[in-house]
Amino acid sequence: MNTRRAAFITGLAIAASTVSMTAGASSAAADSFTEFRNSNSGKCLEVENSSRSNGARVQQWDCNRQGGSKWYLRDAGGGYSYVVNKNSGKCLEIENSSRSNGARAQQWDCNGQAGSKWKVNYLNMFGSWSMTNSSGKALEIENSSRSNGARAQQWDSSMRAGVLWQMVMNF
């Protein structure tokens, strides 16, 4: 097989292994939800203390089905989704729609701001999901920490341990 053909087939395989997911709003969203479990730590993405306030920090914590760890996806248009906290009804967003590495994740009213739009992609080769903000940066756990309370933030997309997620569906 020649080199150009091998490169084409490899590129095609990589493209085919990435699936984008958006979910339309439905009445099922009120009854079903998912927990995003970090593939590195095994801990769940949650709103600190299951707060219902704008600006509440998003972090990881042991998965025990607390209210702040339940999420659902709602279509945001243009291939993006809103990641909505079931407990608060607020969107996962990057503070001030920042485009900087290390900008913290928080929850805020879902009002169409750029920092609340996500591409949720299944990465077949890793058997995990990634969440990429409209800034082009991935949602990750700071320093790939395995500790409770480690904050969620955005960072340049890469395949570091802290950026991969499992979706655990619950009804």
Per the CB < 8 A criterion, the answer to whether 108 and 54 are in contact is: yes
In percent, the amount of the chain with pLDDT more than 90 equals 73
Flag whether 62 is in a domain.
yes
User: pLDDT tens across 45-83, in order?
Assistant: 999 999 999 999 999 999 998 999 999 999 999 999 999
Domain that residue 64 falls in: 19-170
Q: Give the CATH number, domain containing residue 159.
A: 2.80.10.50
What is the distance between the alpha carbons of residues 38 and 61, in angstroms, rounded to a whole number?
10
Task: Render 46-83 in DSSP notation, one character per residue.
Answer: EEGGG--STT-BEEEE--S--GGG-EEEEEEETTEEEE
Q: Which residue has the higher pLDDT, 122 or 25?
A: 122
Flag whether 59 is in a domain.
yes
User: pLDDT tens across 109-153, in order?
Assistant: 999 999 999 999 999 888 899 999 999 999 999 999 999 999 999
**Mean pLDDT (the chain, rounded):** 85
Flag whether 100 is in a domain.
yes
Question: What's the confidence (pLDDT) of residue 31?
Answer: 60
Question: How many domains does the chain contain in total?
Answer: 1
Question: What's the confidence (pLDDT) of residue 125?
Answer: 83
**Vertex 76 angle, CA 129 and 136, to 5°:** 55
In percent, the amount of the chain with pLDDT more than 70 equals 81
Q: Which residue has the higher pLDDT, 23 or 147?
A: 147
What is the distance between the alpha carbons of residues 143 and 120, in angstroms, rounded to a whole number?
21
Over 90: is that where the pLDDT of 21 sits?
no
SS3 of 139-170: the string is EEEHHHCCCCCCEEEEEECCCCHHHCEEEEEE
Flag whether 14 is in a domain.
no
What is the distance between the alpha carbons of residues 124 and 1, in angstroms, rounded to a whole number?
25
Flag whether 77 is in a domain.
yes
Flag whether 152 is in a domain.
yes
Flag whether 5 is in a domain.
no
Mean pLDDT to the nearest integer, 32-43: 94
What is the pLDDT confidence band of residue 16, given thresholds at 50, 70 and 90?
A: very low
